[in-house]
Amino acid sequence: MSHDPDGPLLLEPDEPPAVTVTDADGRSPFVVTCDHASNRVPRRLAGLGLSEAERDRHIAWDIGALAVARRLAARLGAPLVAAGYSRLVIDLNRPLAARDLMAEISDATPVPGNHGLSPADRQARIDQLFRPYHAAISALLDRRAAAGRPSLLVCQHSFTPRLSGGAARPWHIGLAPGRDRRFGELLAAALRRDPALVVGWDEPYAIGPASDYGVPVHGDGRGIPAVLIEIRQDGVAGDAGAARWADRLAGSLAAIAPALLGDTP
């Protein structure tokens, strides 16, 4: 891990790494990432001044996303790249210039540990959490490309059923494609074969280079088909829900892979 030797060290030796790659040599054409996998805060940051109850909420992580991503990657035989720390420490799906990269307020909740950060504090989070995570994804995609293997990028997220003061979000799942819409369109069509499923398109958010990082950089930036998948958190709160979603997504992805790979040079 690279860091400025004069800057503050974030992680103690017994803490989890910034990034964990599982099944790096998985033979699937799919590569799964989970940016908001964890609500862990480095011990030295003292919970960012939030109570444990606040850090259990959706503001700190994508509840259920890692449970789905793990099962999905296992069913597909795909590599999984998962982050080790909370989005409140640094949001791995934001460009470095984004105002909410280290959010001072998240869904109406102030984050005391993100107020008044010095440039060195900010740089430590970038160097020790953001860069290793994205370097792991880049290295994985580089290796696959060098081996002549195609990659189809699946960025697994989850969303809260309702933001503070907001309206109920009706979608069970939302898809947000990168610049190449075909991956998302095929997946949406496959999911919509179940008429009971409410599939959002560009919901709960559309992707943009000013607000997102994974799909624009690792997908669009490399010409790799990519889609961001958001599952509503009440559907993945328990193991059974996560397993159901992983099965459903694995089936849909496997079904559309031949058509997608036919388009991939």
Binding region for Zn ion (CB under 5 A): 36, 62, 157
Q: Which amino acid is at 48?
A: L
Q: Which two tokens stand for residue 76?
A: 């597909």
Burial of 32 (0-12, 13-18, 19+ CB in 10 A): buried
How near is the Cβ of 232 to Zn ion at its closest, in Å? 12
For residue 249, the minimal CB distance to Zn ion (Å) is 16
Pick 152 or 215: Cβ nearer Zn ion: 215
Yes or no: say if 213 and 95 are a contact pair by the CB < 8 Å rule.
Answer: yes
Q: Which is nearer to Zn ion, 37 or 186 (CB)?
A: 37
Strand, helix or coil for residue 181: coil
- What residues does 80 pair with on adjacent strands? 22, 32
Nearer residue to Zn ion within complex by CB, 28 or 39: 39
Run of H or E residues at 184: helix 182-191
Query: Least distance from C-beta 221 to Zn ion, angstroms?
Result: 19
Work out the angle between the directed axes of helices 182-191 and 239-263 (0-180°, nearest 10).
130
Pairing of strands 105-106, 109-110: antiparallel
State the minimum distance, in angstroms, from the CB of residue 62 to Zn ion: 4
Residues pairing with 21 in the sheet: 81
At its nearest, how many Å lie between Zn ion and the CB of residue 157?
3
Q: Return the residue nearest Zn ion (CB atom).
A: 157
Closest to Zn ion by CB, 36 or 125:
36
Is the CB of 60 or the CB of 250 nearer to Zn ion? 60
User: Minimum Å distance from CB 262 to Zn ion?
Assistant: 30
Closer by beta carbon to Zn ion, 29 or else 106? 106
What minimum distance in Å lies between the beta carbon of 85 and Zn ion? 13
**Contact assessment for residue 190 and residue 263, using Cβ atoms and an 8 Å cutoff:** no
CB atoms within 10 A of CB 174: 24
170 residue type, one letter: P
Instruction: Considering the complex, state which of residue 62 and residue 180 has its C-beta at the smaller distance from Zn ion.
Output: 62
As a dihedral over the C-alpha atoms of residue 249, residue 252, residue 257, residue 258, rounded to 10 degrees, the angle is: 170
